[in-house]
Amino acid sequence: MPETFYSFILFVIIATATPGGATTLATASGVQFGFKRSIPLMLGIATGLAALAAAAASGLATLVQSLPMLEWTVRAIGTAYLLWLAIKIGSAGEPKSTNQRSGTPIKFAGGLLLLLLNPKGWAMALSAAASFAAIASDTVELAIIMASSFSFAAIASLSIWCIGGATLSQVLRSEFHWRIVNISLGILLSLSIIPMWLE
């Protein structure tokens, strides 16, 4: 049992820390708006991941994956949302620039939506629930353990990525540098869509 729990914790850390749409978005927000103004976004992402984990533990993720049309719809809406975010990030200018398209960071609801519309997140949460069901005595306990573990790990990893972005913004000296970083982050966010369609 302890070995299974340690394996679960390792899985959670790896799943939340590796690059993907959420980490790219946290980095981009750190670059554009700094750590403090990115907190609502990161809390939204962490809450969304906790909700997915709890849903997976209670069996709701299986329902989504068992209905192909529903899964396809979630995937399509998630793709459109991520592409919209990628364009928004890629077209942003220097934070104090007058031609910047958006002067406000993505809020809590945007981060929440990112996770709830991410089939890759659903699949990850479902595989965690199936693989590590033995760490709990019932589905409610499993839902609590998974939601709290994924939420805590997401906040920690997103904070690191966001701080990295905020640190990067300190070395950007010209509008050209800002454009390169913003376009690169927009492209990375777009590329994070590909695994959603390969599953």
pTM of the complete model: 0.80
Which residue range forms the structural domain that includes residue 152? 2-198
In a 13 Å sphere around the CA of 99, the CA atoms on its Cβ side amount to 5
pLDDT at 145 (0 to 100): 93
Number of domains in the chain: 1
In a 13 Å sphere around the CA of 130, the CA atoms on its Cβ side amount to 9
Does position 196 have pLDDT exceeding 70, yes or no?
Answer: no
Does position 97 have pLDDT exceeding 60, yes or no?
Answer: no
User: Residue range 135-151: average pLDDT?
Assistant: 91
User: Residue range 150-170: average pLDDT?
Assistant: 93
pLDDT: which is higher, 38 or 86? 38
